[in-house]
Amino acid sequence: MTSKEEIINGMKDAIITYNKAKCLELAKQGITEKVNSLELIQEGLTPAIQELGEKFGRGEIALPYLMVGAEAMQDALNYILETMPKGEYKPKAKMVLGTVKGDIHDLGISIVEAVFQANGIQVYNLGRDNPKEKFVEKAELEEADIIGTSALLTGTMFEQKVVIEYLKKQGLRDKYIYLIGGGACPSSEWCDEIGADGWATDVMLGLDAAKKSLAEKKGIEL
């Protein structure tokens, strides 16, 4: 029988070395050997993906490597969540996430989904090319705390403003934390111009922005 520490450390090493199959295998082994599910997530998956995110932020690894690490983590996370008794995994916040209308790139949001879910934020990933109505309808349906929009093309960046203006028109602006991100987001100037609550082009900075906004606007500490 493999010890709990060996399983958890093995999962961390598998993510950091981009070994998706090994990470999932160890997640299954952990569940079989009755390692606490939350420990597998909080001590194994979360610190590993945070380490990769920080390396990416420092320019030490390229985006494709971060993506593979996030996929490894997400596969293991999904398996663990599926096997947990209903109600055991209790995320502290909910987020609707997607790429704006006209933008067909969704590379970044899959990484955000993996990292945020490991940190206690339930993510509803809408994928690519979403009109303003879809963000708001999903947020209302799921009683979300955060709406996050991504734009990777400068030609679609304006859609981030369209979404927040739609929220205002519906009388819902104060109900949600609104975060923006993506490769097209140039600086805090765009965030300030449209009145968003936070911005990031890096997943870990995005997580920091989410944590800060949740604490300040919702009283939710992650």
Q: What are the per-10-residue average pLDDT scores of the chain (222 residues)?
A: 87 94 95 90 87 85 86 89 77 94 80 84 93 97 96 86 96 96 76 93 86 94 87
Q: What pLDDT shows up at residue 29? A: 95
Is 71 in the same domain as 114? no
Instruction: Record the pTM.
Output: 0.79
CA-based nearest residue to 101, from 122, 128, 62: 128
Residues 131 and 75 placed together within one structural domain of the fold: no
Which residue(s) pair with 219 in the sheet? none
State whether 8 and 78 are in the same domain. yes
Amino acid found at 132 = K
Question: Are 100 and 153 within one domain?
Answer: yes
Q: What's the CA gap between 67 and 90, in Å, rounded?
A: 26
Question: Which residue range forms the structural domain that includes residue 43?
Answer: 4-83
Looking up residue 178, the CATH number of its domain turns out to be 3.40.50.280
Q: 103 in a domain, yes or no?
A: yes
DSSP 221: -
pLDDT in the model for residue 200: 86
If asked whether residues 115 and 210 sit together in one domain, one would say yes
Q: If we measure between CA atoms, which residue out of 115, 109, 97, 112 comes closest to residue 176?
A: 97
Residue that is last in its domain, among 62, 83, 104: 83
Does 141 fall in a domain?
yes
**27, 122: one domain:** no
Q: Tell me: do 98 and 75 sit in the same domain.
A: no
Give the ranges where the chain is alpha helix by DSSP (H). Answer: 4-16, 20-32, 37-39, 46-57, 63-83, 107-118, 132-142, 158-169, 188-194, 203-213
Residue 201's contacts (CB-CB under 8 Å, 6 or more residues apart) are: 181, 182, 183, 185
Is 88 within the bounds of a domain?
no
pLDDT score of 118? 80
The total number of structural domains in the chain stands at 2
Q: Do 97 and 63 lie in a common domain?
A: no
Exposed (0-12), middle (13-18) or buried (19+): which is 221, by Cβ within 10 Å? exposed
Domain boundary among 83, 106, 138: 83
Residues 78, 109 within the same domain: no
Taking a C-beta distance cutoff of 8 angstroms, is the pair 135, 108 a contact?
no
Residues sharing a CB contact under 8 Å with residue 199, sequence separation 6 or more, in sequence order = 179, 180, 181, 185, 188, 190, 191, 209
